[in-house]
Amino acid sequence: MKSALAVAIAAIGLIIAAFLVGNAYKYKFRATENVTVTGAAEKDFVSDQIVWTGNYSRKMMDLKSAYSLLKEDEAKIKSYLVNKGLTATEMVFSAIAIDKDFAYRYDESGRQIGSDFTGYNLKQAVTVDSKNIEKVEKISREVTELIESGIEFNSSAPSYYYTKLSELKIDLLAKATADAKLRAETIAKNSGSSLGATRKASMGVFQITGQNSNEDYSYGGVFNTSAKNKTASITVKMEYAAN
Protein backbone atom coordinates (compact mmCIF):
# COMPACT_ATOMS: atom_id res chain seq x y z
CA MET A 1 0.00 0.00 0.00
CA LYS A 2 2.76 2.38 0.92
CA SER A 3 4.60 1.45 -2.26
CA ALA A 4 1.56 2.25 -4.42
CA LEU A 5 1.10 5.58 -2.66
CA ALA A 6 4.76 6.49 -3.24
CA VAL A 7 4.43 5.68 -6.93
CA ALA A 8 1.29 7.79 -7.20
CA ILE A 9 2.95 10.75 -5.47
CA ALA A 10 5.98 10.43 -7.73
CA ALA A 11 3.72 10.34 -10.80
CA ILE A 12 1.84 13.44 -9.68
CA GLY A 13 5.17 15.17 -9.06
CA LEU A 14 6.35 14.34 -12.56
CA ILE A 15 3.11 15.69 -14.03
CA ILE A 16 3.45 18.95 -12.07
CA ALA A 17 7.11 19.29 -13.04
CA ALA A 18 6.30 18.70 -16.70
CA PHE A 19 3.54 21.30 -16.50
CA LEU A 20 5.87 23.86 -14.94
CA VAL A 21 8.65 23.17 -17.44
CA GLY A 22 6.15 23.41 -20.31
CA ASN A 23 4.80 26.72 -19.09
CA ALA A 24 8.30 28.06 -18.57
CA TYR A 25 9.28 27.09 -22.11
CA LYS A 26 6.07 28.58 -23.45
CA TYR A 27 6.73 31.82 -21.55
CA LYS A 28 10.29 31.95 -22.79
CA PHE A 29 9.16 31.33 -26.35
CA ARG A 30 6.51 34.02 -26.16
CA ALA A 31 8.93 36.44 -24.52
CA THR A 32 11.26 36.15 -27.48
CA GLU A 33 8.52 36.83 -30.06
CA ASN A 34 8.69 40.23 -31.71
CA VAL A 35 7.17 42.31 -34.45
CA THR A 36 9.53 44.23 -36.75
CA VAL A 37 8.14 46.90 -39.05
CA THR A 38 9.27 49.89 -41.10
CA GLY A 39 7.36 53.15 -40.82
CA ALA A 40 7.53 55.94 -43.38
CA ALA A 41 6.56 59.60 -43.67
CA GLU A 42 6.94 62.32 -46.25
CA LYS A 43 6.11 65.99 -46.61
CA ASP A 44 6.11 68.52 -49.43
CA PHE A 45 7.68 71.89 -48.77
CA VAL A 46 8.93 75.00 -50.55
CA SER A 47 12.53 76.20 -50.33
CA ASP A 48 13.11 79.45 -48.46
CA GLN A 49 16.68 80.22 -49.57
CA ILE A 50 18.30 80.63 -52.99
CA VAL A 51 21.99 80.62 -53.92
CA TRP A 52 22.99 81.79 -57.38
CA THR A 53 26.44 82.22 -58.92
CA GLY A 54 27.68 84.08 -61.98
CA ASN A 55 31.16 84.06 -63.51
CA TYR A 56 33.01 86.61 -65.61
CA SER A 57 36.53 86.99 -66.96
CA ARG A 58 39.02 89.21 -68.79
CA LYS A 59 41.92 88.15 -70.97
CA MET A 60 44.75 90.45 -72.04
CA MET A 61 48.45 90.28 -72.75
CA ASP A 62 49.12 92.77 -69.96
CA LEU A 63 48.28 91.51 -66.46
CA LYS A 64 47.80 94.96 -64.97
CA SER A 65 45.36 95.98 -67.69
CA ALA A 66 43.37 92.75 -67.34
CA TYR A 67 43.16 93.22 -63.58
CA SER A 68 41.99 96.82 -63.96
CA LEU A 69 39.23 95.83 -66.39
CA LEU A 70 38.08 92.98 -64.14
CA LYS A 71 37.77 95.34 -61.16
CA GLU A 72 35.71 97.68 -63.32
CA ASP A 73 33.47 94.72 -64.19
CA GLU A 74 33.09 93.91 -60.49
CA ALA A 75 31.94 97.45 -59.75
CA LYS A 76 29.44 97.38 -62.65
CA ILE A 77 28.04 94.01 -61.57
CA LYS A 78 27.66 95.13 -57.98
CA SER A 79 25.88 98.31 -59.09
CA TYR A 80 23.63 96.29 -61.39
CA LEU A 81 22.60 93.88 -58.62
CA VAL A 82 21.96 96.69 -56.14
CA ASN A 83 19.80 98.50 -58.70
CA LYS A 84 17.84 95.26 -59.10
CA GLY A 85 17.00 95.31 -55.40
CA LEU A 86 19.73 93.22 -53.77
CA THR A 87 21.78 94.40 -50.80
CA ALA A 88 25.56 94.28 -50.52
CA THR A 89 25.27 91.68 -47.74
CA GLU A 90 23.51 89.29 -50.12
CA MET A 91 26.44 89.10 -52.55
CA VAL A 92 30.00 87.83 -52.22
CA PHE A 93 32.73 88.35 -54.82
CA SER A 94 35.39 85.67 -54.97
CA ALA A 95 39.13 86.17 -55.14
CA ILE A 96 40.51 86.65 -58.65
CA ALA A 97 42.01 83.57 -60.29
CA ILE A 98 44.88 84.21 -62.72
CA ASP A 99 45.88 81.76 -65.46
CA LYS A 100 48.50 82.04 -68.16
CA ASP A 101 47.21 80.85 -71.52
CA PHE A 102 49.39 79.33 -74.21
CA ALA A 103 48.89 78.19 -77.79
CA TYR A 104 50.88 75.02 -78.40
CA ARG A 105 52.68 74.18 -81.65
CA TYR A 106 53.02 70.64 -82.99
CA ASP A 107 55.00 69.01 -85.78
CA GLU A 108 53.61 66.75 -88.50
CA SER A 109 53.87 63.75 -86.16
CA GLY A 110 51.76 65.44 -83.49
CA ARG A 111 54.64 66.08 -81.14
CA GLN A 112 54.66 69.38 -79.25
CA ILE A 113 57.53 71.53 -80.49
CA GLY A 114 56.81 74.79 -78.72
CA SER A 115 54.26 77.18 -77.26
CA ASP A 116 53.31 80.83 -77.55
CA PHE A 117 51.99 82.93 -74.67
CA THR A 118 48.52 84.24 -75.57
CA GLY A 119 47.71 86.32 -72.52
CA TYR A 120 46.61 86.41 -68.91
CA ASN A 121 43.13 85.02 -68.22
CA LEU A 122 41.60 86.50 -65.06
CA LYS A 123 38.44 84.97 -63.65
CA GLN A 124 36.08 85.99 -60.87
CA ALA A 125 32.67 84.93 -59.55
CA VAL A 126 29.86 86.56 -57.62
CA THR A 127 27.58 84.48 -55.40
CA VAL A 128 24.17 85.72 -54.27
CA ASP A 129 22.66 84.17 -51.15
CA SER A 130 19.17 85.45 -50.43
CA LYS A 131 15.76 84.67 -48.94
CA ASN A 132 14.07 86.64 -51.73
CA ILE A 133 13.73 83.74 -54.15
CA GLU A 134 11.51 85.35 -56.78
CA LYS A 135 13.75 88.41 -57.06
CA VAL A 136 16.95 86.39 -57.51
CA GLU A 137 15.27 84.08 -60.02
CA LYS A 138 14.28 87.11 -62.09
CA ILE A 139 17.79 88.57 -61.91
CA SER A 140 19.37 85.27 -62.94
CA ARG A 141 17.25 85.30 -66.09
CA GLU A 142 17.82 88.95 -66.94
CA VAL A 143 21.53 89.20 -66.04
CA THR A 144 22.50 88.81 -69.70
CA GLU A 145 21.80 92.54 -69.83
CA LEU A 146 25.34 92.92 -68.51
CA ILE A 147 26.65 91.75 -71.89
CA GLU A 148 25.45 95.06 -73.32
CA SER A 149 27.96 96.81 -71.05
CA GLY A 150 30.81 94.65 -72.39
CA ILE A 151 30.90 92.10 -69.57
CA GLU A 152 31.07 88.44 -70.53
CA PHE A 153 28.88 87.16 -67.72
CA ASN A 154 27.90 83.49 -67.44
CA SER A 155 24.96 82.70 -65.16
CA SER A 156 24.67 79.33 -63.41
CA ALA A 157 21.36 77.71 -62.48
CA PRO A 158 20.20 78.70 -58.97
CA SER A 159 20.34 76.25 -56.07
CA TYR A 160 17.49 76.05 -53.55
CA TYR A 161 17.74 75.27 -49.84
CA TYR A 162 15.54 75.10 -46.75
CA THR A 163 16.65 76.65 -43.46
CA LYS A 164 14.31 74.64 -41.21
CA LEU A 165 15.49 71.12 -42.02
CA SER A 166 16.03 70.18 -38.37
CA GLU A 167 12.42 70.93 -37.45
CA LEU A 168 11.21 69.16 -40.59
CA LYS A 169 13.23 66.04 -39.79
CA ILE A 170 11.88 65.87 -36.22
CA ASP A 171 8.31 66.20 -37.49
CA LEU A 172 8.84 63.43 -40.05
CA LEU A 173 10.45 61.15 -37.45
CA ALA A 174 7.41 61.50 -35.20
CA LYS A 175 5.05 60.68 -38.07
CA ALA A 176 7.16 57.75 -39.30
CA THR A 177 7.31 56.32 -35.77
CA ALA A 178 3.52 56.59 -35.41
CA ASP A 179 3.14 54.89 -38.79
CA ALA A 180 5.43 52.05 -37.68
CA LYS A 181 3.48 51.55 -34.46
CA LEU A 182 0.18 51.40 -36.35
CA ARG A 183 1.59 48.77 -38.70
CA ALA A 184 2.93 46.73 -35.77
CA GLU A 185 -0.40 46.91 -33.91
CA THR A 186 -2.22 45.69 -37.03
CA ILE A 187 0.15 42.74 -37.40
CA ALA A 188 -0.09 41.81 -33.72
CA LYS A 189 -3.87 42.06 -33.65
CA ASN A 190 -4.31 39.89 -36.74
CA SER A 191 -1.95 37.28 -35.33
CA GLY A 192 -3.79 37.03 -32.04
CA SER A 193 -1.23 38.91 -29.98
CA SER A 194 -0.94 42.31 -28.38
CA LEU A 195 1.85 44.81 -28.88
CA GLY A 196 4.39 45.13 -26.10
CA ALA A 197 7.26 47.47 -25.39
CA THR A 198 9.65 48.86 -28.00
CA ARG A 199 12.83 46.80 -28.20
CA LYS A 200 14.75 48.51 -30.95
CA ALA A 201 14.42 51.64 -33.06
CA SER A 202 16.63 52.92 -35.85
CA MET A 203 16.29 55.81 -38.26
CA GLY A 204 16.53 55.16 -41.98
CA VAL A 205 17.78 57.48 -44.70
CA PHE A 206 16.55 61.06 -44.87
CA GLN A 207 15.80 61.96 -48.50
CA ILE A 208 15.01 65.26 -50.21
CA THR A 209 13.84 65.07 -53.81
CA GLY A 210 12.23 67.46 -56.26
CA GLN A 211 8.45 67.29 -56.30
CA ASN A 212 7.00 65.16 -59.09
CA SER A 213 10.50 64.14 -60.18
CA ASN A 214 11.84 60.75 -61.17
CA GLU A 215 14.85 60.97 -58.88
CA ASP A 216 16.04 57.64 -57.54
CA TYR A 217 16.45 57.16 -53.82
CA SER A 218 19.98 56.28 -52.77
CA TYR A 219 21.44 54.33 -49.86
CA GLY A 220 23.30 57.40 -48.65
CA GLY A 221 20.38 59.77 -49.16
CA VAL A 222 19.41 62.28 -51.86
CA PHE A 223 19.66 66.02 -51.25
CA ASN A 224 18.08 67.89 -54.14
CA THR A 225 19.17 71.51 -54.64
CA SER A 226 17.89 72.13 -58.17
CA ALA A 227 14.15 72.20 -57.41
CA LYS A 228 12.39 74.95 -55.48
CA ASN A 229 9.47 72.67 -54.56
CA LYS A 230 10.72 69.57 -52.76
CA THR A 231 9.56 66.44 -50.96
CA ALA A 232 11.25 65.20 -47.79
CA SER A 233 10.88 61.58 -46.70
CA ILE A 234 12.24 59.39 -43.95
CA THR A 235 11.87 55.81 -42.68
CA VAL A 236 12.25 54.25 -39.24
CA LYS A 237 12.67 50.58 -38.37
CA MET A 238 10.94 49.53 -35.14
CA GLU A 239 10.97 46.28 -33.23
CA TYR A 240 8.28 45.57 -30.62
CA ALA A 241 7.68 42.73 -28.19
CA ALA A 242 4.59 40.65 -28.92
CA ASN A 243 2.52 39.52 -25.89
Q: What is the mean pLDDT of residues 20-24?
A: 48
Same domain for 55 and 144: yes
Is the pLDDT at 24 greater than 50, yes or no? no
Q: What is the mean pLDDT of residues 195-200?
A: 88
Mean model confidence pLDDT for the chain:
86
Is the pLDDT at 12 greater than 70, yes or no? no
pLDDT band at 4 (very low <50, low <70, confident <90, very high): low
Is the pLDDT at 17 greater than 90, yes or no? no
Q: For residues 43 and 123, give the distance between their C-alpha atoms in angstroms, rounded to a whole number.
A: 41
pLDDT band at 221 (very low <50, low <70, confident <90, very high): confident
Tell me which amino acid residue 76 is.
K
pLDDT in the model for residue 132: 96
For residues 3 and 44, the model is more confident at 44
pLDDT in the model for residue 123: 97
Domain boundary, last residue among 113, 130, 161? 161
Domain boundary, last residue among 138, 161, 184? 161
CA 68, 69, 73, 75 torsion: positive or negative? positive
Q: What is the mean pLDDT of residues 219-237?
A: 90
Same domain for 120 and 54: yes
Q: For residues 175 and 83, give the distance between their C-alpha atoms in angstroms, rounded to a whole number.
A: 46
Q: For residues 138 and 104, give the distance between their C-alpha atoms in angstroms, rounded to a whole number.
A: 42
Same domain for 217 and 194: yes
Tell me which amino acid residue 182 is.
L
Structurally, the chain folds into a number of domains equal to: 3
Q: What is the mean pLDDT of residues 183-201?
A: 88
Contacts 24+ apart (CB under 8 A), 146-151: 146/56, 146/76, 146/77, 146/80, 149/76, 151/56, 151/73, 151/76, 151/77
Each residue's pLDDT tens digit, 35-47: 899 999 999 999 9
Which residues 6+ apart lie within 8 Å of 204 measured at CB?
38, 234, 235, 236, 237
Same domain for 105 and 86: yes
Domain boundary, last residue among 161, 189, 204? 161
Same domain for 173 and 202: yes
Same domain for 236 and 169: yes
Same domain for 133 and 57: yes
- Percentage above 70 pLDDT, the chain: 85
Show the domain range for 100. Answer: 49-161
Same domain for 80 and 115: yes
Tell me which amino acid residue 143 is.
V
Same domain for 55 and 153: yes
- Percentage above 90 pLDDT, the chain: 63
Same domain for 180 and 106: no
How many other β-carbons are positioned within 10 Å of the β-carbon of residue 174? 12
Each residue's pLDDT tens digit, 128-183: 999 999 999 999 999 988 888 889 899 999 999 999 999 999 999 999 999 999 99
Same domain for 144 and 55: yes
CATH of the domain at 228: 3.30.110.170
Q: Is the pTM of this model over 0.75?
A: yes
Q: What is the mean pLDDT of residues 97-102?
A: 95
How many other β-carbons are positioned within 10 Å of the β-carbon of residue 92? 12
pLDDT in the model for residue 238: 93
pLDDT band at 27 (very low <50, low <70, confident <90, very high): very low
pLDDT in the model for residue 195: 86
Same domain for 220 and 140: no
CATH of the domain at 93: 3.30.70.2970
Each residue's pLDDT tens digit, 47-73: 999 999 999 999 999 999 999 999 999
